[in-house]
Amino acid sequence: MIDPASLPALHASHGGIWLREDGRTRELAKGQAIGRAAETPLLLLNAPLTGQRLGYPDLNGLDLLELWAFLHPARFLVPTPKGLATALGLPVPTSEVEIPALLQSAAQAMLDRMGAPEWREREGGWTAAQSLHRLRWPWAPIIAPRIAKPKEAERWLFSKLPEWEEAQPRPAPRTVTLDEGQVLARLDALTGVGAEPRPGQRAYAAAAIGAFRPRAHRDQPNMLLAEAGTGIGKTLGYLAPASLWAAQAQGTVWVSTYTKALQRQLDRESLRLFPDAAVAASRVVVRKGRENYLCLLNLEDALQGGFTGRAAILAQLVARWAAFSKDGDMIGGDLPGWLPTLFRRNGSTALTDRRGECIYAGCPHYRKCFIERTARASADADIVIANHALVMINAARGRETGQRPQRIVFDEGHHLFDAADSTFSVLLSGQEAIELRRWIMGPEGGSRGRRRGLSARLSDLASYDAEGGEAIRDAADAAQALPADEWLKRVVAGEPFGPVEAMLAAVRGTVFARAADTGEADAGYGLETELAEPDGPLVEAAQEAALALDALLRPLTRLSRRLEAVIEDAPDWLDGAARARIEGAVASLGWRRDLIGAWLALLARIGGPADPDYVDWMTVDRVEGREYDIGIHRHWLDPSRPLAEAVLKPAQGVIVTSATLKGGGDWGNAESRSGASHLPHGAERFEASSPFDYAARAEVLIVTDIKRGDIAALSGAYGRLIEAAGGGTLGLFTAIRRLRSVHARIADRLARGGLPLYAQHVDPIDTGTLVDIFRDDPRASLLGTDALRDGVDVPGHSLRLVVMEGVPWSKPTVLHAARRLAGGGNAYDDRLIRARLAQAFGRLIRRAEDKGSFVILSAAMPSRLLSAFPPGTPIRRLTLDEAIIAVSVQARAQILGEAAALGHQGAESGSARQERE
């Protein structure tokens, strides 16, 4: 049996490289470390990240994160030395030189757990270890001797997953009126005994009651717009009346978020509603799109030879996780976010249903499907936690009419406009068109995989119904006109095949011709131009493409009618499973018909009159000069209009809430961006200011001596500010290129000072894990883009400084230009920028004891935008040297405050211990 202490351990960071072997630790150069790693497997923590630090991206070894994923498949772990030590109960290393020894100790501790009788995830471990051994997983020879062979053969994953059961549809909710006293009593129960009084939270809960009253007008939900500043406690403020209404009315409330971070937070808060975890799991359901969940049929294919190499190892570890997962959610659920990144994203996306190819009841795992189980659980849940897009799609498509959201809370409501913009938009591109072809035709030529076309999915219908079978064949013939594999190569070479590829070639030619006048064609970025004044070849190509799409739409429409007729006639072979599969096919066909119809409307606009309700434009998408898609876009000029029609008007009650709901404007801005302005009677309003003392605990510093475009000066400013704050810094950028440049210049220097620096678009780690690492280490700092400007909740001991590289101006896109013209020009821009500044500032003070600085590295910050910050917040324009002094003072105050609070807690616990004794 191999002793982990005999295995060499390697740790590499921006601060240096250390190797421990033969009982001693020494520092190495990069070349030495790479050579040593090539000789023998080394103990590592996060091989892709270590390989990046070494400049050796193909680094592999005995990754302790992979061992953790095998040992504790669905348990949370911060993937850092500190996080690993904390999870295993080992001493946290005080310097990087101690980390290799920790890796050896951690390996020993995890291997020892496999022999312990209390190992909770033992079931299936022996069988998985044998499979991984055949796949040559580096850990397999080490763990296999430590796992005793079970007396009886272990059940395969697919035989031990629980089955969901069909249940009769839930009756319509009862008509009830909530009592304010009961709602406030529920709020008191949720906040707990001894919680500090929050008058704003109680007022918020009382105002939210109105959204749960019986509806009084047609096409008019009881709608509340609620802006509640940070610290009000709006989550429990709306959960109190929502949970009480759900219990009394026997109905479901949908709580919708924009970010996965808030979804996770709400899922944790559900334990306040139902302290028993088993009860909470049935009464509160997290619901996402199908592409987020593990597809068991795809997993079975991967386990039976569909995956090879490292991807096959990932499939085995995912199978281990699936046996213990709460709900099978691979994106933001209990699958560690870092696990797919260990395999360089190799295979993880193929384990979900991203193409909409589900065969429903035709799948052998249908009764155990995570997606179907979650959908059914949500029908009987009190609270369904979803995202804006899913709520809108459910309401607009109406596939699940019985579950159409009727009582909705849109948290992070300032993103409702953007979510509607994305949901109700149309894109006709090469990538979208080839996905439709694959959905209809299935695998072509020598392609492999589980993909199935319409004929394979509906073979029983084709054999039973001649007209249905003919429609399937006609659809497959018509789909030949859609782009096929390697379509982009043909288009770029000027040799398109078929009418749709020819239309894409014409789009590309127009975009490049117009870009040549501006000099953007050689810049390497994506290109776009208005769909205005098209030339003759583009108009002709669009007409030919429209004829081809119309020829495809007709057989799909016929097929839908035949499927509906089969359901009505109910032949002998139409059992429950077959009915479910055909109903699923009807829904899928409906979505594709709607898509093709939207494409036809878009093509009809080329050469015809423009529709003032829409903004249309053409794009060539590129990354660093490499083209990857070509398309035509259509967005609503005001996407709150379809939002109001499809989502708000059919609903009974709606709450739209956020800390920055007015978005740097007035209530008129909130009403126009939420869709309330399109309702007959508008919406009620509620506003509660943050209880935090911003004047004493925060400051805005505008640095005036950093020259725009000077990357060296910008990097130096970031480095010095992070050092002044002692880490704990969130750096926000508007351009990925500048982020990478700044990170490259300062990461090594900060690491040598004991201040680790992480970055989006640099480190091979998903965003959620980066935030977890940042939250866990008070001396770490994180650089990121827009994704980190909102939805990041990090306490003051880990976040005491926010730095923005400059004013977050809007990008001059075709869509933005159109909305700017319609929205008031500069006033429209100012509202957007104030909203972004307010969202970024909101990351800084999350709790009453937090203290920190908000720095903008731009002398061009207009004074008119400073109203984005809370009233009373000190705002100063100063030099970088002065800002560094101010940041240092503020950060020291926060750190001392944290230390005093910890000391006070320690003294209190000591006193309590003496009393008990």
Give buried/exposed letters for 218-254 (b at 16+ CB in 10 A, else e).
eebbbbbbbbbbbbbbbbbbbbbbbbbbbebbebbbb
Contacts of the segment 278-284: beta carbons below 8 A, 24+ positions apart = 281/326, 282/377, 282/380, 282/381, 283/381, 283/382, 283/383, 284/381, 284/382, 284/383, 284/384, 284/385
Pairing of the two strands 24-27 and 16-21: antiparallel
In whole angstroms, what is the distance from residue 722 CA to residue 800 CA?
10
Q: Does residue 379 carry a pLDDT above 80?
A: yes
> What is the amino acid identity at position 660?
T
Taking all residues of the chain, what is their mean pLDDT, rounded to a whole number?
89
Task: Give the CB-side neighbour count of residue 810, counting CA atoms within 13 A.
Answer: 20
Nearest to 351 by CA among 288, 302, 286: 302
916 pLDDT tier (thresholds 50, 70, 90): very low
Rounded to whole angstroms, the Cα distance separating 816 from 824 reads: 12
Confidence bin at 913 (pLDDT 50/70/90): very low
CA distance 350 to 295: 9
Dist CA 192 CA 661 (whole Å):
28
Report helix, strand or coil for 555. Answer: helix
Q: List all residues 6 or more positions away from 326 whose beta carbon is below 8 Å from its beta carbon.
A: 74, 281, 333, 334
The strand pair at 852-856 and 801-804 is best described as: parallel
Residues shown for the chain? 917
The answer to whether 760 and 767 have CB atoms below 8 angstroms apart is yes
The per-type count for the chain, helices as H runs and strands as E runs, is 36, 23
Looking at residue 518, its pLDDT comes to 67
* 261 pLDDT above the threshold of 90: no
276 pLDDT higher than 70: yes
- Dihedral through CA 639, CA 641, CA 645, CA 649, nearest 10? 110
Q: Are strands 729-732 and 284-286 parallel, antiparallel or unpaired?
A: unpaired
Sign of CA pseudo-dihedral 800, 804, 809, 810: negative
Q: What phi and psi values does residue 875 have, to the nearest 5 degrees?
A: -130, 125
User: Average pLDDT, stretch 171-179?
Assistant: 93
- 92-109 pLDDT, tens digit each: 999 999 999 999 999 999
**E-assigned strand segments in 689-770:** 698-703, 729-732, 757-759
Cα separation, 891 vs 887, in Å, equals: 6
Answer whether 321's CB lies under 8 Å from 72's CB. Answer: no
pLDDT tens-place string over residues 96-143: 999 999 999 999 999 999 988 889 999 999 999 999 999 999 999 999
Whether 75 shows a pLDDT value over 50: the answer reads: yes
Residue 406 is given by DSSP the state: -
pLDDT attached to residue 127: 94
Pick the closest to residue 425 from 615, 644, 656 (CA basis).
Answer: 615
Cα distance between residue 775 and residue 597, in whole Å: 47
Query: Residue 259 has what DSSP assignment?
Result: S
Task: Using alpha carbons, select from 369, 326, 352 the residue that is nearest to residue 73.
Answer: 326
**Tell me, what amino acid is at 560?**
S
- In terms of C-beta distances under 8 Å and separation of at least 24 residues, what long-range contacts does 681-685 make, across chains too? 681/217, 681/220, 682/223, 683/223, 683/224, 683/225, 683/654, 683/656, 684/207, 684/210, 684/222, 684/223, 684/224, 684/225, 685/224, 685/225, 685/226
- Residue 909 has which token pair? 């616990």
Average pLDDT over residues 705-721: 95
Edge-first strand order for the sheet with 698-703 is 757-759, 781-784, 729-732, 801-804, 852-856, 698-703, 875-878
Judging by beta carbons within 10 Å of its beta carbon (0-12, 13-18, 19+), is residue 98 exposed, middle or buried? middle
Angstrom distance (rounded) from CA 588 to CA 580 = 12
Whether 449 has a pLDDT exceeding 60, the answer reads no
Asked if 292 contacts 375 with a C-beta cutoff of 8 angstroms, the reply is no
Measured between alpha carbons, how far is 14 from 140 in angstroms, rounded to an integer? 31
CB atoms within 10 A of CB 753: 14
- Name which of 112-116, 431-435, 777-781, 793-797 the model is least confident about: 793-797
Rounded Cα–Cα distance for residues 696 and 692 (Å)? 9
pTM of the predicted structure, to 2 decimals: 0.91
Res. 430: pLDDT tops 60? yes
Confidence band, pLDDT 50/70/90 cuts, at residue 399: very low
- CA 345 vs. chain centroid, Å, equals 15
Residue 755 pLDDT class (50, 70, 90 cuts)? very high
Q: Picking from 328-337, 379-388, 578-587, which range would have the lowest pLDDT averaged per residue?
A: 578-587
DSSP state of 232: S
Give the H/E segment covering residue 224.
Answer: strand 222-228
Work out the angle at residue 129's Cα, subtended by the Cα atoms of residues 127 and 134, and round it to the nearest 5 degrees: 100
**Residue 448 has what pLDDT?**
54
Q: Which contacts qualify for 111-118: CB closer than 8 Å, 24 or more apart?
A: 111/4, 111/67, 111/142, 111/143, 111/146, 113/71, 114/71, 114/143, 114/146, 114/147, 115/146, 115/147, 115/148
pLDDT, tens only, 489-524: 999 999 999 999 999 999 999 999 998 766 666 666
> Quick check: 727 and 778 in contact, CB under 8 A?
yes
Q: At 684, is the pLDDT very low, low, confident or very high (cuts 50, 70, 90)? A: very high
Residue 477 has pLDDT above 50, yes or no: yes
Q: Tokens 């093709």 map to which residue?
A: 596
Number of Cβ atoms within 10 Å of the Cβ of 412 = 24
Across 191-200, 664-673, 878-887, the highest mean pLDDT is recorded for 878-887
What mean pLDDT is predicted for residues 219-234?
Answer: 95
Residue 910: the pLDDT is: 42
Closest CA to 786 of 765, 805, 813, 812: 805
- Indicate the range of 293-302, 699-708, 784-793 predicted with least confidence: 784-793
Residue 346's contacts (CB-CB under 8 Å, 6 or more residues apart) are 309, 310, 311, 314
Instruction: List b or e across 259-283, with b for residues whose CB sees 16 or more CB atoms inside 10 angstroms.
Output: bbbbbbbbbebbebbbeeeeebbeb
Q: Please report which confidence band the pLDDT of residue 902 belongs to, taking 50, 70 and 90 as the band edges.
A: low
Read off the pLDDT band of 160 (50, 70, 90). confident
Longest dimension (CA), the chain: 91
Most confident of 222-236, 258-272, 882-896: 222-236
CA angle, residues 721, 722, 727, in degrees to nearest 5: 150
586-594 contacts, C-beta under 8 A, 24 or more apart: 586/560, 587/397, 587/399, 588/356, 588/358, 589/556, 589/559, 589/560, 589/563, 590/397, 590/399, 590/560, 591/356, 591/397, 592/436, 592/439, 592/556, 593/553, 593/556, 593/557, 593/560, 594/397
Mean pLDDT computed over 347-358: 76
pLDDT value, residue 328:
93
How many CB atoms are located within 10 Å of the residue 542 CB? 26
Residue 432 backbone phi and psi in degrees, to 5? -65, -40
The residue among 533, 497, 491, 517 whose CA lies nearest residue 618 is 533
Between residues 853 and 332, the one the model is more confident about: 853
Q: What are the pLDDT digits (tens) for 36-62?
A: 888 888 999 999 999 999 998 888 899
- Calculate the CA dihedral of residues 727, 733, 736, 742 and round it to 10 degrees: -50
Q: Average of pLDDT values for 338-343?
A: 92
CB 873 within 8 A of CB 698: yes
Residue 866 pLDDT class (50, 70, 90 cuts) = very high
- Find the mean pLDDT for residues 737-764: 95
Euclidean distance between the first and the last CA atom of the chain, given in angstroms as a whole number: 47
